[in-house]
Chain A
Amino acid sequence: MVRRMSDVRWSTEQVHALAPDASSLAAARKLATGSGWSQEGAGGEPLSLWGLCKGSGATPYQTCVDVTEPAYKCSCPSRKFPCKHALALLLRWSAGTLATADQPSYVVEWHAGRAGRAAKKAARESAPRTAEQERAAERRAEKRADRMAEGVAELAQWLDDQVRQGIAGLDRAGYKHFDQVAARLVDAQAAGLASALRRLGALPASGAGWEDRLLGELGLLRLLSTAAARIDDLPPELADTVRARLGHNVPTEQVLAGPKVRDVWQVIGVRDEVEERLSSRSVWLIGRDSGRAARVLSFAAPGQALPVDLIVGTEIDADVCYYPGAAPMRALVAARHGDVRRLDRPGPAVFVARALSDVADALAADPWITRHPLLLQAAVVPGDPWRVVDAAGDALPLDPAAADPWPMLSASLGGLGTLAAEWTPRGVVPLTMFTAGEAVRA
Chain B
Amino acid sequence: MSDVWAQLLSSALVGVQRRPCVLGPAAAPLETVIPAGPVDEAGLLHAAGTVTLAGRAGALAEKTAIPAPVVLVEETLVPPAAAARVSALLGGVRATGDQRGMRRLLHEWLELAAVHHRRSPAHLLPALLDLADQDGTLRPLVVAVGGTRAAWLAGLRPQQWGWMREPGEPAETAWTDGDTNARVAYLGAVRERDSAEGRRLLLETWKNESAADLAKLIGACRSGLDPADEEWLEKALDDRRVQVRSAAVPLLQRLPGSAYAGRMAERVAAWFHADGRKTIRVEFPAEFDPSMKRDGIEQKSAYGRGEKAWWIEQVVAAAPLSCWRTIDEDPAVMLKRSVGDDLGQVLRRGLTSATLAQRDARWAKELCGMASLESYAARPLVELLPPADAAEVALAGLQRRSGFANAFLSGLDRPWPADVSAAVVAKLGTAQLTEESGWRSLVTHAESGLDPAYAADIEKLADGVSFGEVLRQLAAFLQIRSDIHREFAS
Contact = CB atoms under 8 A, between A and B. Distances in A.
Nearest to B72: A413
A211 to B, nearest CB: 6
B425 interface: no
A294 interface: no
Interface stretch (B59-67, B196-204, B264-272): B59-67
A223 interface: yes
Contacts of B459: 35
Nearest to A170: B13
Given A166-B12, A215-B8, A363-B57, A160 B41 contact: yes
Given A406-B126, A407-B124, A167 B13 contact: yes
A156 B59 CA distance: 28
B212 interface: no
Interface stretch (A20-28, A74-82, A315-323): A20-28
30 contacts: A23-B96, A33-B476, A33-B480, A156-B42, A159-B45, A160-B41, A162-B12, A163-B11, A165-B15, A166-B15, A167-B13, A211-B9, A211-B13, A217-B52, A226-B42, A356-B59, A379-B69, A387-B62, A389-B65, A393-B63, A407-B125, A407-B126, A408-B123, A409-B156, A410-B122, A410-B123, A410-B153, A413-B72, A414-B70, A415-B68
A30 interface: yes
Nearest to B469: A56
Interface in A223-247: 223, 226
A222 interface: yes
Interface stretch (B84-92, B183-191, B290-298): B84-92
Contact of A164 (B41, B69, B152): B41
A6 to B, nearest CB: 20
B475 interface: yes
A223 B50 contact: yes
A34 interface: yes
Given A363-B57, A407-B123, A414-B67, A215 B62 contact: no
B56 A425 contact: yes
A163 B9 contact: no
A22 B92 CA distance: 8
Given A410-B125, A414-B69, A363 B97 contact: no
Interface string A157-194: 00111111111100000000000000000000000000
What band does the interface of chain A fall in when counting residues whose beta carbon is under 8 Å from B?
35 or more
Interface in B86-107: 87-88, 91-92, 95-98
Contacts of B15: 163-166
B57 A160 contact: no
Given A33-B476, A34-B472, 8 more contacts: A22-B96, A35-B459, A159-B41, A215-B48, A219-B45, A223-B46, A406-B126, A413-B71
Interface string A1-28: 0000000000011001000001101100
Given A165-B15, A220-B49, A407-B123, A379 B67 contact: yes
A25 B97 CA distance: 10
B418 interface: no
B45 A396 contact: no
A425 B57 CA distance: 10
Contacts of A166: 12-15, 18
A219 B47 contact: yes
A33 B9 CA distance: 62
A152 interface: no
B44 interface: yes
A223 B49 contact: yes
A393 B66 contact: yes
A392 B61 CA distance: 11
Interface string A329-341: 0000000000000
A209 B126 CA distance: 32
Contact of B45 (A29, A165, A218): A218
| Chain B, interface residues (CB within 8 Å), range | 35 or more
A22 B149 contact: no
Contacts of B67: 379, 381, 389, 414-416
Report the 5 A-B pairs with minimum CB-CB distance, sorted nearest first: A415-B69, A219-B49, A219-B48, A166-B15, A216-B52
B95 A22 contact: yes
A352 interface: yes
B61 A160 contact: no
Nearest to B161: A406
B53 A407 contact: no
Contacts of B61: 352-353, 356, 394-396
Contacts of B70: 413-415
A215 B21 CA distance: 14
Contacts of B46: 219, 222-223, 226
Contacts of A205: none
Contacts of A22: 95-97
B211 to A, nearest CB: 45
B60 A356 contact: yes
Contacts of B72: 413
A356 B56 CA distance: 9
Pick the most buried of B46, B67, B70, B479: most chain A CB atoms within 10 A of its CB: B67
B69 A412 contact: yes
B64 A392 contact: no
A160 B9 contact: no
Contacts of B63: 393-395
Interface string B309-344: 000000000000000000000000000000000000
A410 to B, nearest CB: 5
A379 B70 CA distance: 12
A168 B71 CA distance: 52
A212 interface: yes
Nearest to B14: A166
A16 B87 CA distance: 12
Chain B CB within 10 Å — which of A30, A391, A414 has the most?
A30
Contacts of A168: 13-14
A164 B17 contact: yes
B58 interface: yes
A420 interface: no
A392 B483 CA distance: 47
B113 interface: no
Nearest to B479: A33
A410 B96 contact: no
B126 A16 contact: no
Nearest to B16: A164
Interface in A348-362: 352-353, 356, 359-360
A25 B49 contact: no
Nearest to A217: B52
A26 B475 contact: no
Nearest to A425: B56
B466 interface: no
